[in-house]
Structure 1
Amino acid sequence: MIQYDYIIIGFGKGGKTLAGDLASKGKNVAMIEQSEEMYGGTCINIACIPTKYLVHYAEQKQGDNDMKTFYQQAIEGKDKVTKSLRENNYKNLADQESVMVYTAKASFVSDKQIHLESATETLELTADNFIINTGSEPVIPPIDGIEDTDHIYTSTTLQQVKELPEELVIVGGGTIGLEFAMLYANFGSQVTIIDSSDEFMKNEDRDIAESLEKILKDKGITIIHSSKAVAVKNYEERIKITHESKDGAQGELTAAALLLATGRKPYTEGLNLDKAGVKRDKNGAIQVDENLKTSADHIWALGDVNGGPQFTYISLDDYRIVRSQILGDGAYNLDKRKNIPYSIFVEPVLSHVGLNEKTAKEKNITYKAASIPAAAIPRTKINNQPNGLLKALVNPDSKEILGCTLFCAESSEMINIVRVAMEANMPYTFLRDNIFTHPTMSEGLNSLFGKFD
């Protein structure tokens, strides 16, 4: 049996970064990844990087290029990028003397031992400490006929299809569904979203949600509200989808492809967590404390598998917490984390940090709100991206920035500026009076926070 100081299960952002740090401190580390197609984790292989590559590629189309060929070129380019990143991630760890990368399925035998099984061999490994970083997987909804019907995809498998679907039906109106809807509409697909929610983007303020919905419809995207897919079947080399509204009314759609975008869930299949004494919550996520330690004292869980926000940068921040516990002074933990930003890569990008009006009202927090149209920023006249809305909330007494929603071009960069100001406890006047270069989208923050005067 081979002994290690640390065994890390899952080659995701948090795990791979921690492996490198531990190795640099002289620790013997085993990195376990069940698929050679997932070295580096979800982000670089099937999520952030490939999808944003496709988003960028779609924006480059000029003239009367054949869209089907253009799409095939995009998929091929995406595959080259992910392959290169995957290979680099593998080498970055495998080339370190004190790191051993195993490509195999791991399962716990006890809290100090795991069993590895690959196509060619089985092994038993033991360690004093374990890190679980196995990520998440798509949620497959209970739709009649789903197991016997072709042309059904997840966000992972749709990216592997080299032929552009003429019509794409998307089940789910959340982040994944909206991003893929805009992406495939830009490539020329006729897109329909089946959204089960009673209220489109129910967690967003209505002015933001309505602005985005209008842009989606102007792009030619159809949204069927308060409805869910209840049955699918093969139909003349295509797929037929039956959807049903809350009042029981049914309708039918035919399409070349159906995308299931109904969320993701923690991936723990086959880990045998019970044998390690690791508990899960009712949603299947591994339970962790403020230090990301599981119910087993020497086992931690990072990233999507612990039920936290499903962002690569949160997996990286999870790494910082565990690094603080193992290699640092233990001062940084979940209690210190706040103001988590996010971006939804539609067109324009929708980014947010902190509170919005909806949440502030629910929490009975005193606030003052202000907004400006994106078109008020001079840069939008140059880049011809006038759509959207910028909105902020502040405490009228303390001048504290409570939250900000930026639905505009380049918002994924701008929102980081706002978060830094919030983390530094700067008043809104800091952004109101800050010197930004011109002409840039960032200087729109001057105007937005100037509205509070």
Structure 2
Amino acid sequence: MKKYQNIIVGFGKGGKTLAKTLAMQGQEVLVIEQSDQMYGGTCINIGCLPSKNLIINGEKGMPFSQASEAKRALTSKLRNKNYHMIADLETATVLDGKAKFTSNYELEVTQKDGNKLKVQGERIFINTGATPRISKIDGLKLSQNIVTSKEAMDWDEKPANLGIIGAGYIGLEFAGMFNSFNSKVTVIDGLAQILSKEDQDVSEAVFQDLTAAGINFRLDSKIEKVEDSPAGVKVTYQQAGEVKEETFDKLLVAAGRKANTQDLGIENTDIELTEYGAIKVDNKLRTNVANIWALGDVNGGPQFTYISLDDFRIVKDQLLGNGERSTKDREFVPYTAFITPPLSAVGMKEHEAKAAGYDIKVYKLMASGIPKAHVAGDARGLYKVIVDQKTKQILGATIYGLESHEVINLISLVMKLKAPYTVLRDMIYTHPTMAEALNDLLN
């Protein structure tokens, strides 16, 4: 059994950045990754970057086969870069294989050829990410025709008729993507509202735009059965008391993601899990076992690559800094759903602020009132900011429109600084931009 100073299980954003940092400090680091197609983690291989690349090229009108090849070239380049970023460091080692705990600080690594290696770590960092959740529906299991977002991004040919289970952020991104490649897209969801966490006015605006773009919705529909055959995937669902059937070439399951702790051998350790199966950590990402941390999606936090990066900062501060950073600093975390146009938000929604008892003022502006939206040729969407009347601070914001993913960062910064909303209202912006709409919105 070989002993290492640091073992990192998983090559995701937080883990790889920590591996590079520690190795550059001269520390010995072993990174274990079960797939040579996942160097760099979910984001660059099967998540954020390849999906956004396909979305953008679909919007450009690029043929699907060409867009798929461009996506492969992008991920291959990034994967190779990430591998060498770690493997080429003198004190770092990348080991391909499936890691499984045999005790708190010992792991067995099964390589492709079946060979098993045993390793021991003084410190262990679990960075195994998350995996798509498969809904418990009669007949629903992965196959050539029934896939998750991971497999859908590897298709060489677009489906002529695509069904999607789930009207959340992932489901709608893929709905918009394949619609742009001229697939017929139908989204089925058990709730009556898409993007159920959003305010109803925002959800309704997105729904109207996606419907106008040609996407079909079967909302408030309970799926009873899925039947997979060479002829396609038949979905039986109940809507308004009526049983209906539809057949699709492919069915994409977009029912969220769960922490990837299965088959990790956690049962052989003293490490505790949450009720949802994530690794339980404190606000400094420490497990209940000394010298074992969990970074990224596997610890049950927000499932964003930028949160995984912040996880790295928290752990780095404990190992090489003063140890003051923690998840308590994450009061305002923005997010974006890259539909067209994109939807971004941070902080509270209007309904949440009201439920919490705040005395609020809601500032709202339709994107059709923004000059840059007309210049760019897409005036869909709306801006919405929730302000606490007592403190004049922003409680939350939702930006649905072009470049919302950039504008939301300005608002997040002001919220982080606990500055009044008037800072954004009175700021001088360049013109024409989507950000300058904050002058009119907050006036």
TM range (shorter): over 0.9
Q: CA deviation at 1:391?
A: 0.5
- Give deviations 1:267-299, integer Å, cap 9, x for gaps: 012211132211111110110011110111110
Letter in 1 for 2:94: V
CA contact (8 A) 1:7 1:129 kept: yes
Partners of 1:249 and 1:32 lie apart in 2 by 51
Partners of 1:241 and 1:109 lie apart in 2 by 42
Aligned mate of 2:362, from 365, 369, 376 = 369
Question: 1:404 and 1:361, CA in 2 relative to 1: closer, same or farther beyond 3 A?
Answer: same
Report matched runs for 1:62-101 at 5 Å.
Answer: 70-101=63-94
Which residue is equivalent to 2:147?
153
Report matched runs for 1:349-360 at 5 Å.
Answer: 349-360=342-353
Q: Helix, strand or coil: the match of 1:223? A: strand
Partners of 1:50 and 1:350 lie apart in 2 by 19
- Give deviations 1:1-53, integer Å, cap 9, x for gaps: 22211100000000000111111222100000000000000000001000000
Which residue is equivalent to 2:237?
243
Which residue is equivalent to 1:64?
none
Which residue is equivalent to 1:175?
169
Aligned mate of 2:423, from 427, 430, 444 = 430
Q: CA deviation at 1:395?
A: 1.4
- Give deviations 1:350-377, integer Å, cap 9, x for gaps: 0001111011012112211010011111
Work out whether 1:16 is the aligned partner of 2:16: yes
Work out whether 1:226 is the aligned partner of 2:220: yes
Q: Helix, strand or coil: the match of 2:37? A: helix
Which residue is equivalent to 2:310?
317
Q: CA deviation at 1:230?
A: 2.2
Which residue is equivalent to 2:389?
396
Partners of 1:224 and 1:267 lie apart in 2 by 30
Question: 1:404 and 1:148, CA in 2 relative to 1: closer, same or farther beyond 3 A?
Answer: closer
Letter in 2 for 1:38: M
Q: Helix, strand or coil: the match of 1:38? A: coil
Q: Helix, strand or coil: the match of 1:213? A: helix
Q: Helix, strand or coil: the match of 2:434? A: coil
Which residue is equivalent to 2:107?
114
Q: Helix, strand or coil: the match of 1:164? A: coil
Q: CA deviation at 1:147?
A: 4.0
Which residue is equivalent to 1:27?
27
Which residue is equivalent to 1:134?
128
- Give deviations 1:219-257, integer Å, cap 9, x for gaps: 111111111322222456222111123x65311111111
CA contact (8 A) 2:169 2:195 kept: no
Which residue is equivalent to 2:287?
294
Q: CA deviation at 1:328?
A: 1.0
CA contact (8 A) 1:149 1:232 kept: no
Report matched runs for 1:188-207 at 5 Å.
Answer: 188-207=182-201
Which residue is equivalent to 1:45?
45
Aligned mate of 2:379, from 381, 386, 395 = 386
Partners of 2:59 and 2:215 lie apart in 1 by 17
CA contact (8 A) 1:150 1:234 kept: no
CA contact (8 A) 2:359 2:390 kept: no
Q: Which segments of 5 or more consecutive residues in structure 2 lack a partner in the other structure? A: none
CA contact (8 A) 2:198 2:349 kept: yes
Letter in 2 for 1:44: I
Q: CA deviation at 1:149?
A: 6.2
Which residue is equivalent to 1:217?
211
CA contact (8 A) 2:430 2:436 kept: yes
Q: Helix, strand or coil: the match of 1:40? A: coil
Q: CA deviation at 1:150?
A: 4.6
Aligned mate of 1:252, from 245, 249, 252 = 245
CA contact (8 A) 1:171 1:228 kept: no
Question: 1:429 and 1:363, CA in 2 relative to 1: closer, same or farther beyond 3 A?
Answer: same
Q: Helix, strand or coil: the match of 1:146? A: coil
CA contact (8 A) 1:150 1:239 kept: no
Range 148-157 or range 33-42, more displaced: 148-157
Q: Helix, strand or coil: the match of 2:82? A: helix
Partners of 1:389 and 1:216 lie apart in 2 by 15
Q: Which segments of 5 or more consecutive residues in structure 1 lack a partner in the other structure? A: 62-66
Note the aligned Cα RMSD (angstroms).
1.3
| Equivalent residues, number | 442
Q: Helix, strand or coil: the match of 1:210? A: helix
Which residue is equivalent to 1:123?
117
Letter in 2 for 1:196: G
Report the identity percentage. 43
Work out whether 1:163 is the aligned partner of 2:169: no
- Give deviations 1:368-392, integer Å, cap 9, x for gaps: 1010011111101110010000000
Letter in 2 for 1:26: G
Partners of 1:242 and 1:26 lie apart in 2 by 59
Q: Helix, strand or coil: the match of 1:382? A: helix
